[in-house]
Structures are given as C-alpha cells and as structure tokens.
Chain A
Amino acid sequence: MIQQTKATTKSRQAILDRLLGTEVIGPGLPTVDPNQLIHFEDPVAKFIEVLATVGGQAHVVDDLRQIGEILAKLPVYSQAKRVVSLVPEAVPSSFDLAAIDDPHALASLDWTIAKGEFPVAENGAIWVQGETMPHRVLLFIAQYLAIVVSRSQMVHNLHEAYARIGTPKSPFGVFVSGPSKTADIEQSLVLGAHGCRELQVFLTP
C-alpha cells in the first residue's frame, strides 16, 4: 500500500460555516414523471440509427458464433495480433490476460471485445460495468473496440438506464457511445482521438 496523503480540514469548516450560515429556501427535489419521457416504437432500430450517427456500427446477431464471422471480415481484425476478449464464449483471446498485472503492458493491444450490460436507445450508448474488466484501461487503450450486449436488455432513455443501474456497486462504470472522437481542429470530426478508432456493437438476443 502506498502512503496515503491525508486530507486537510483547515478550510472544511470555514466553507461549511459560510454555506450553512446563510439559509436559502429551496423548492425541493422534483420527481420525474415517466409519462413525459420519450419512448420509441422500435427501440432497437432507434439504437442502431443513433449509433450510426455517432460513428459506431451495430450488428444484430442471433448466434454468438456470428460475431467471430463478422469480425473476421474486417481487415483491421483479421490482421490484429493482440486481442483481449471478455466474451470468450463468442471470441477467443489471443493471449492470457491473467498473466498481465500492470495495465501498461496492454499498450500494444489491437482489440478489446467487451461485455455490455444494456444498450440505451435514445443516445446509442451501452453501459459497461467495471467489474467485467480485469483492467478498466482495456476499454480505452485498444485500437479497436467491440461490445457484445443483449438487445432484450434495451432501455428507452437515460432515466430508465439509471433506474436499472440502481446504486452503483462497482468503482467504475461507463456509458460508451461510438468510437473515441474529437473536433478540436476547426470543428472537423476525426474518429480515433485517444481511445478506439472504431466501435462494433453486437446486439445478441
């Protein structure tokens, strides 16, 4: 265990005193009315459509074996040397992840095949739970990313998504929507900023 820097409490009281010293009456917290929220007739179609607009590609598969077949058709996959699969029932890993202790050793990773918990129709995002990954950097350091997620778990909007997560139990969880991107140079969209260059999403039954 590395030495833990202790928190200072000098200003804590001063700040809290200032905040608690001035009483402000608030309106209370609202309760969201579910009837006012967007729902889609075909949430799977909506998800696929939105994911495409943010640069990701979705594939509806009925059998896990199809995932390997679809990936094999992509040159960036067939030429890949280092693949980590967190969904071994669908795609095998190319090396033993358990042998890796330091996440820095994953720097040359070509692909990560991750497992998603559920997709969100309104914004093309997929919730990925931290504990599904031995190293959370797997999601960000690979040149390419694929996420396997069940389409039967689809939620319509983020309110449903957060209700589904409930109280977060893992130190890390992330919504991923499309590949890493930037438009910091003259508003020109470039895919593959720091994270994955492409995102393939496999919607299983």
Chain B
Amino acid sequence: MKTLPIVDHPTKAHAFVADNERTHWHDQALWFVRSKRDKQAGSVPEWEYLRSLASQIKTETIAKLGDYLSEFERNATALGATVHWAADAAEHNEIVLKILRDHETLRIVKSKSMLTEECGLNHFLEDNGIEVVDTDLGERIVQLRKETPSHIVLPAIHIRKEEVGETFHEHLGTDEGASDPQYLTEAARGHLRDKFLAGEVGITGVNFAIAETGGFVICTNEGNADLGVSLPRVHIACMGIEKIIPRFEDLAVFIRLLARSATGQPITTYTSHFHGPRDPQSELHIVLVDNGRSQLRNRSEFRDALHCIRCGACMNTCPVYRRSGGHSYSATVPGPIGSVLSPTRDSSSYKSLPYACSLCGSCTDVCPVKIPLHHQLLAWRKELVDQNLLPYSKRISMKGASILFRNPRLFTFAGWVGRKSLKWLPHGMTHNRWNTWTIARELPEPPRESFRHWYAANRKR
C-alpha cells in the first residue's frame, strides 16, 4: 500500500472555514440533527440504561470477538450463506471482484457501506470495468460529483441544494436552476429505479450481524438496500468484524439507540433482517473484513473505539466538525470517532486529527455506546508526543513550559515580564502575520499585580 499524504486538519479546513456564510449554514444543519437526537433521547426514560447495556454488550463482544465470529460463521453457513474473510482492504476488494467475475457481472447496485468506502471498493471495481451505482441519494449525489461522503450518515451534508440541482441538471437532465428537494428527489427516484432494475448483483453494508443466528440487519430510510438486493439473485454483504453482536435479543438495545442517535428518528423506515439467501436459486455472500481492527483490539487504551455503531452523533455535536466540514479530516470516518480511528491506522499521516478537538467532551456525552471519545483523543496526544510526531515548534514550546513551571523564580520573573509587556508592547509586536493565535483575538488587560503579590498582602499572616 502506498504511503498516505500527511493530513493537516487546519490546512484542509481552510477553504471551508474561509466561507463564513457556508460554515454557519453547515453548523446549523448539523445542530438541527443534534437537536432532533436530544428530543428522541429525552423521550426514552431508560435512555441511560440502554447506553449502559449497549456498552457492556460491546465490551463483552470485543473481548470474545474470535469466538463470536466463529459462531457467526457457523450459523450463517448453516443457513446457506458463504462467509469470506479478508485481512485487509485489498483482499476484500479481490473477494468481491471474484464473486462478480464468477457471475460475469457488469453492473452492480450498492447501498451505503462505510466499509466499502474505507476499502476503496468503488474505484477498484470501476477500474476493473464494472459499473457501480451508489443508490443512497446522498451517496449518489456525492458519486456524481466525484467527491467522497463528508459524513457517515449524511454523505451530502456539505452540499447545497442549488449545487445538487446543477449536478442533476448535468447528469439526470433536470431543469436548469431547479433546487427544490422534492423535485430533485423525484428525479433521482426515477433515475435510480432504472438502475435497480438493471442491477445484476446487490452490494450492501451491515449494521449488525448476530452470532447466535448467523443473520444480519441493515437499516435504511430510503429502502435502497432492500430494493437493491430483492431483485438480483446475488447479494454481497460487506462488514467490519466489529459489527458482530452476540444474541438476537441484543438487537433491541442497538436498534433503539441507532436511529435515535443518528437522525433523531424513533427507528429507520426499514430495519431488514437477513438470514441466509433468499431462495435455493439465490446466493448470499458475507465478507468479514479485519483491515486493522484486530490490531486496534490489542490496544487497551483505544479498544473501546471498536464499539462504534456508526451513528454519527459525535460528529453532529462536535463544534470542530460542524465548523470545519467532514472533508477536512481526509478520512472515511471523520469527526471525533474518526480522529481516534484514523491515527490507529497511520499515526504519522493523521497526527493532526487528535488536535482538531477542544476536549469539550460533548461527543462522549452523546455516544450511544459510551466510547470515552475525548479521553481517547487526549490519550492520542500523549501517544503522538511519545512517538515524537509533534511538530518542532510545539515540542520546543512544551519543553520551555516544562522548565518554566518547574522553576518558581523563573515563573515569577516571567509573570512580571508578561504583565509589563502587555502594558507597554506596541500592538504590532503581538498582532502580526507571524502570530496566528492573534488573528481574531485580543490579549487580556494586564492585571495590576500578580496573585502571589496580592496573597502576600492580604492573606499571609
């Protein structure tokens, strides 16, 4: 695999942030979703109990992941499904391509799957001459625009309706200048109906796979996953190995939490349960993908990140995500959970992400499976220091601060210098192009005296 370019979050966010009006609009759109989530969470009196149950179930699942995967494989195979194992993204793509080649497939319809996005399946299949149609409306918009999703639940949240109108005018022949969501959705419905009817194989993701029964569940509002796999004879379901849950009854806990946390709905329109192929003439393939997950499980401080059910609540609430946009993270999964997961893949490339965070802790508060996200982001910062991945400027200033705080005399002197400088330094000395911190900030009024001085005068006897 080729080395990834280093992602510098502030640089990547720069263009987005520069458009003040758009940043504000994006922020409000996500806050609207977060508010809907709050309303739903508040309407379930046992919400916190559900979160505790979910957290415990996931902790246990990840602990015994090997056993549950074997149990799932056994039961799924008994139902007539074929279970494949992929160590990494490349193997996953090869497995899918092999199945498609075996059926001489030229056209596939695909519903939303963050895993296939992570593996870069679309481009791989297209390079191999297969037409890939993303059928989720948001993903289709993003696909037609040759972009990537900027959010795991709302892939096109960064695109304005006028821009969707332009894209649809170009690709679907809708009226020029049209931007009414109702009209545009109707156009996409007609366009994708034809694609559904022409699809030779349906590819989907998986929301939950049940070890006890060998089945799995897919949740959608549009019905695209169901339409995509109910017509062709072959269904390929791709899932990360962490999507397993032990028992059928555990679904109740997770289904109750998922849609409420994600979009503030009581449940998605369709919650479909698949147990084995449709009929004896059909095939069901399930691809279990590791791609770094088993290594993440070995790291106790970040292991809980495997609990994630991909609801997106942490992004909707994150003040940094809301104002910087999903693309600034340059990762399949952006936002707080993405900032934990991405460096586990490649700490050097993603070293700026744990700093795209104010440690406000809101993500931890809304996480339905209680991942201690802001603690993990803080733990990453320590890890990055230990790995010597901090930029020189930060390393040297941290060294300086350490010396300063260890020497009381030096500290007292520095305080005196600071108070005097605040008072006498000309504005241009602090506010110039070399000091990015002061771009939109003023320095505080200098206090008349230090706390030490005040204490000595007023409290010391």
Please indicate the chain A residues that have their CB under 8 angstroms from the CB of B379 in the complex. none
Contact bitstring B116-160, A, C-beta under 8 A = 1, else 0: 000000000000000000011110010000000000001111001
A162 touches B252 (CB 8 A): yes
Cβ-defined contact, B248 with A103, below 8 A = no
Spot the interface stretch: B78-86, B321-329, B365-373, B416-424. B78-86
For B103, give its contact among A2, A122, A181 (CB under 8 Å): A2
Query: Who on chain A is nearest to B140 by CB?
Result: A184
A31 to chain B minimum Cβ distance, whole angstroms, is 9
Given contacts A2-B283, A180-B222, A195-B227, contact A168 B87 (CB under 8 A): no
Residue from A5, A162, A185 in contact with B251 in the complex, judged by beta carbons closer than 8 Å: A162
Contact of B271 among A14, A122, A174 (CB under 8 A): A174
Q: Which residues of A contact B85 (CB under 8 A)?
A: 7-12, 15
**A76 interface residue (CB < 8 Å to B):** no
Which B residues touch A190, using CB under 8 A?
181-182, 185
Q: Which of A26-72 contact B (CB under 8 A)?
A: 26-30, 32-33, 36-38, 50, 53-54
C-alpha spacing A32/B256, complex, angstroms: 13
Query: Which chain A residues in 107-125 approach chain B with CB under 8 Å?
Result: 107, 122-125
Number of residues from A at the complex interface, CB < 8 A: 81
**At the interface with chain B, which of A78-86, A88-96, A137-145, A146-154?**
A137-145
B263 → A minimal CB distance (Å): 7
A interface SS class: loop
Determine whether the beta carbon of B70 is less than 8 Å from that of A16.
yes
Q: Taking A104-B197, A187-B32 as contacts, is the C-beta distance between A182 and B160 under 8 angstroms?
A: no
Say if the beta carbon of B63 comes within 8 Å of chain A: yes
What are the residues of chain A within 8 A of B278 when measuring CB–CB?
136, 171-172
- Residues 169-186 of B, flagged 1 when their CB comes within 8 A of A and 0 if not, give 000000000000110111
Given contacts A27-B59, A167-B248, contact A193 B276 (CB under 8 A): no
Interface residue count for B (Cβ, 8 Å)?
107
A103 CA to B423 CA, complexed, in Å: 80
Task: Let me know if B255 is at the binding interface, CB within 8 A.
Answer: yes
Within 8 A of B (CB), among A1-26: 1-12, 14-16, 18-20, 22, 24-26
User: Is A176 engaged at the interface, CB distance under 8 Å to the other chain?
Assistant: yes
B267 interface residue per 8 A CB criterion: yes
Are A3 and B290 interface neighbours, CB within 8 A?
no
Q: Is the CB of A54 within 8 A of B82?
A: no
* A182 pairs with B221, CB closer than 8 A: yes
User: Known contacts A20-B66, A183-B263; is A5 also within 8 Å of B213 by CB?
Assistant: no
A161 within 8 A of B: yes
Q: Report how far A150 CA is from B248 CA in the complex, Å.
A: 24
Q: How far is the CB of A170 from chain B (nearest CB, A)?
A: 7
B274 nearest CB across to chain A (Å): 6
CB distance from B392 to the nearest CB of A (A): 36
Cα(A137)–Cα(B62), bound, Å: 35
| Bound-complex Cα distance A7 to B79 (A) | 15
A22 contacts B298, C-beta separation under 8 Å? yes
Q: Contact check, B53 vs A107: say whether CB atoms are below 8 A apart.
A: no
Known contacts A19-B294, A140-B226, A159-B252; is-contact A193 B66 (Cβ 8 Å): no
- Contact of B83 (CB < 8 Å), options: A7, A165, A192: A7
On whether the beta carbons of A27 and B60 are closer than 8 Å, the reply is: yes
Of the candidates B53, B275, B290, the one whose C-beta lies within 8 Å of that of A11 is: B290
- Compute how far the CA of A1 lies from the CA of B234 in the bound complex, rounded to whole angstroms: 12
Residues of A within 8 A of B274 (CB): 171-172
**Closest chain A CB from B150 CB (angstroms):** 12
> Cβ of B63: which chain A residues have Cβ within 8 Å of it?
24-26
> Top 6 closest A-B pairs, CB basis?
A195-B223, A26-B63, A19-B66, A184-B138, A137-B230, A193-B222
Report which B residues bind A (CB closer than 8 A).
Answer: 29, 32-33, 44-46, 49, 52-53, 56-57, 59-67, 69-70, 79, 82-87, 91, 95, 98-99, 102-103, 135-138, 141, 154-157, 160-161, 164, 181-182, 184-186, 189, 192-193, 196-197, 213, 215, 221-224, 226-227, 230-231, 233-234, 241, 246-253, 255-256, 263, 265-281, 283, 285, 288, 290, 294-295, 297-298, 303
26 A-B contacts (beta carbon < 8 Å): A2-B233, A6-B82, A18-B298, A19-B69, A26-B64, A29-B60, A32-B253, A122-B266, A137-B231, A158-B251, A171-B279, A172-B275, A177-B266, A182-B138, A183-B221, A184-B136, A184-B141, A184-B185, A185-B161, A187-B29, A192-B186, A193-B222, A193-B223, A194-B192, A195-B226, A195-B269
